[in-house]
Structure 1
Amino acid sequence: MSSGKYIGNKIVSPSLSCLCDKSQVQYANRRISADLSRRGFVTGMAASMLSLVLPGLSQAQSTLPPNAPAKPVLFTNFRLFDGKSPKLRDGLYMVVEGNTISQIGQGQPASSEGKTVVDCGGKVIMPGMIDMHWHMLLASLPIQVVLQSDITFVHLAASAEAERTLLRGFTTVRDAGGPTFALKQAIDSGMLSGPRIYPSGAMITTTGGHGDFRPLTDLPREGGHLSQPERDGAVAIADTEDEVRLRVREQFIQGATQIKLMGSGGVSTPRSPLDMLTFTERQLRAAVETAADWGTYVLVHTYTPESVQRSVAAGVGCIEHAHLMDDKTAAMMAKSGAWLSTQPFLSTADVAPLAGPAVEKFAEVTAGTDNMYKLARKHGLKVAFGTDILFSRELTTRQGKMLTHLKRWYSPAEALEMATSTNGQLLALSGERNPYPRKLGVLEQGAYADLLLVDGNPLENLDLLANPEQNLRIVMKDGKFYKNTLKA
């Protein structure tokens, strides 16, 4: 950890009380739900607690999250990227009270009395970044370990990785599949350091679809028997409209903010070719309608034109990946208003070591990346940024590096806007299920105080964010300093 990191016993601010109440209700619901959710809570809590006393799990040597500052924090002498403007603003001051930005003013504040003053030395303040396709439980462990280990160990690794994710400058993530409800609760309640999490819950797929890692010895599926990944809450298999509705509702009663479905094959599942189609349009629509009943939306994993078009026809609000889409498909997305949430995969440096069919499948994905972004620009699609880093502790350190790949198609200002305010707009689609009702991804009065202080100008040099340990001087989330190398 940086020498200036604030630590201390947990203090829950009044502004967070509604979130704690909500998490307690969700906990009560989980306690009376399926066995997999009860087990997920117990193991998640154990993981959270153990991470506090096993510093070897984290390079940062996990500690209790910091106290909220005792006094309002006054930032002075900085340049501001607010998440929306393509240019920096100078001559400002900013006041953080509790977990919220209470003032951004021009010139000098009327008084600094009663405030902790932070002189930023002319450095750039920007919003905390948002990763729209992150897997908290799957990011840092090899796939063999995930499939063969007790789920408790997977939760332990995730709790350690959560703090590292936050210190890389990603103050919010949308988890695109996995039983992260307990981890989210531990972070929100101040038990553990980590980013805000928008959980999707189990990845819902069909028999043989992407995410169905069952060994052939588990076939045929009879008498409602669930595989271990299903019992752990990582995957849910549904093969009829009614099953889709059931699995979607199961995620919501555990606290999902949006729902993830698999619409095509994937790279890491050995027996699901990219071109395969999983759910029918009616089955996809069943998920969309059920999510709408809960006031939120569905995201669908899909690569090919056929699977994207089927998802859009079913009313899906967010398409994930789509690296193989064509011009007709991009035009259809633009007309529907669907979001494209995708990743700038360029080479095998962006993925954990591959073997077998996965090698050719990933090569096909990377070959389509350039055309996908060009089509997105041509048709004016709403594009969100995510990384989808999986199964490698080493790769997780490249989270910021992945953002720099966007320079091939976007200016640094456009890339930063995508990773902050644009991603914040997509998060807001969770509507009634949104656990964080204030604005994210922007720095303005009334927004959450999630911010970074960058040593250099990322609007001129986006590569600064690829080295967060050196170039991020402050990481603040929810008004708390998780990293501060400046003297107040």
Structure 2
Amino acid sequence: MKFKYLLTLFLMSGCFVMAQTKPILIENVRLLDLKAARLTAPMHVLVSGSTIQKISATAITVDKDAVKINGGGKTLMPGLIDVHVHMTFGTFTMAQLMGEDLTEEFLVRKIGESAQQMLLRGFTSVRDAGGPIFPLKTAIDAGKLVGPRIWPSGAVVSQTAGHGDFRAPNERSRRFFGKPSRAEQVGATFIADGRDDVLTAVRENLRFGASQIKLMAGGGTSSAYDPIDVTQYTLDEMKAAVEAASDWGTY
């Protein structure tokens, strides 16, 4: 069957939240049979919590409080996972993110709108590869906002003048002048030089709840100061980051 005829049914918004407390019966949907490499005839699927309880070609009887969804013969598929996304950097320009009037409330609200759109595109889980994301994850986990499950990296860890050094030209290093850059204040980056600074930055992200660490080890197109082809961080600095993450049981 040509791709354009494959229609997809996703569980979104209220139904996505209710799945935690009420059974969901999805009726009249086709499933991909991987062994036969074809779509099935219309089936019925019962979901309880995060578990698929039953798949049947015949009607499934459920309690009256169950949520029923008629799939209309469309294809039911698992949620997609985006393993490299920057939900904050994809919502705001760097100039907007560095603005002095940016508040956490506004940041969460705007990224929350993007998160809901991502869920509606079928992505039920994302690995956020750097940026101020913890407040949004907290809001989604608490059911205050609708969005995908987030595995956060937190602030990217970058050397001075590296791929994660988002300072304005007039911002000087806090190491010499004592004031964190705006990017560090909003949780977009940790500028860390030397083994000790890298250890601290990684451990700080882990303390905030990072499920993995984003270390900027080379140049990139979105940073103003570094050539794209340069190597960043010494081997000893990178080892420090790996050791700290490994000690925490992650990467």
Normalised to the residue count of structure 2, the TM-score between the two structures is 0.83
Change in CA separation of 1:66 and 1:86 when aligned onto 2, cut-off 3 Å: same
Residue matched to 2:180: 226
2:23 to 46, 60, 72: 72
Are the equivalent residues in 2 in contact too, given 1:137–1:155 (CA < 8 A)?
Answer: no
Residue matched to 2:110: 157
Deviations 1:148-190 (Å, cap 9, x if unpaired)? 2534143332122222221122111111111211110110111
- Count of residue correspondences: 236
Matches within 5 A, 1:32-431: 67-68=18-19, 71-81=22-32, 87-91=37-41, 92-97=43-48, 99-109=49-59, 111-112=61-62, 114=64, 115-152=66-103, 153-220=106-173, 221-297=175-251
The alpha carbon displacement at 1:67 in A equals: 4.3
Q: Give secondary structure in 2 for the equivalent of 1:256.
A: coil
The alpha carbon displacement at 1:271 in A equals: 1.3
Q: Give secondary structure in 2 for the equivalent of 1:201.
A: coil
Q: Give secondary structure in 1 for the equivalent of 2:176.
A: coil
Q: Distance in 2 between matches of 1:147 and 1:196?
A: 26
Matching residue's letter, 2:168: P
Matching residue's letter, 2:118: T
Are the equivalent residues in 1 in contact too, given 2:32–2:40 (CA < 8 A)?
Answer: no
Q: Which has the higher contact order (CA 8 A, sep 6+)?
A: 1
Matching residue's letter, 2:58: Q
Q: Unmatched 5+ residue regions in structure 1?
A: 9-64, 298-488
Query: Which structure: greater helix fraction?
Result: 1
- What fraction of aligned residue pairs are identical, expressed as a percent? 42
Are the equivalent residues in 1 in contact too, given 2:154–2:188 (CA < 8 A)?
Answer: yes
Q: What is the root-mean-square deviation in Å for CA atoms of aligned residues?
A: 2.7
Normalised to the residue count of structure 1, the TM-score between the two structures is 0.45
Deviations 1:303-331 (Å, cap 9, x if unpaired)? xxxxxxxxxxxxxxxxxxxxxxxxxxxxx
Q: Distance in 2 between matches of 1:133 and 1:224?
A: 33
Are the equivalent residues in 2 in contact too, given 1:177–1:234 (CA < 8 A)?
Answer: yes
Change in CA separation of 1:269 and 1:127 when aligned onto 2, cut-off 3 Å: same
The alpha carbon displacement at 1:214 in A equals: 1.5
Change in CA separation of 1:117 and 1:256 when aligned onto 2, cut-off 3 Å: same
Matching residue's letter, 1:141: F
Change in CA separation of 1:111 and 1:218 when aligned onto 2, cut-off 3 Å: closer
Q: Distance in 2 between matches of 1:86 and 1:234?
A: 47
Q: Unmatched 5+ residue regions in structure 2?
A: 1-11
Are the equivalent residues in 2 in contact too, given 1:81–1:127 (CA < 8 A)?
Answer: no
Q: Distance in 2 between matches of 1:151 and 1:231?
A: 11
The alpha carbon displacement at 1:69 in A equals: 7.9
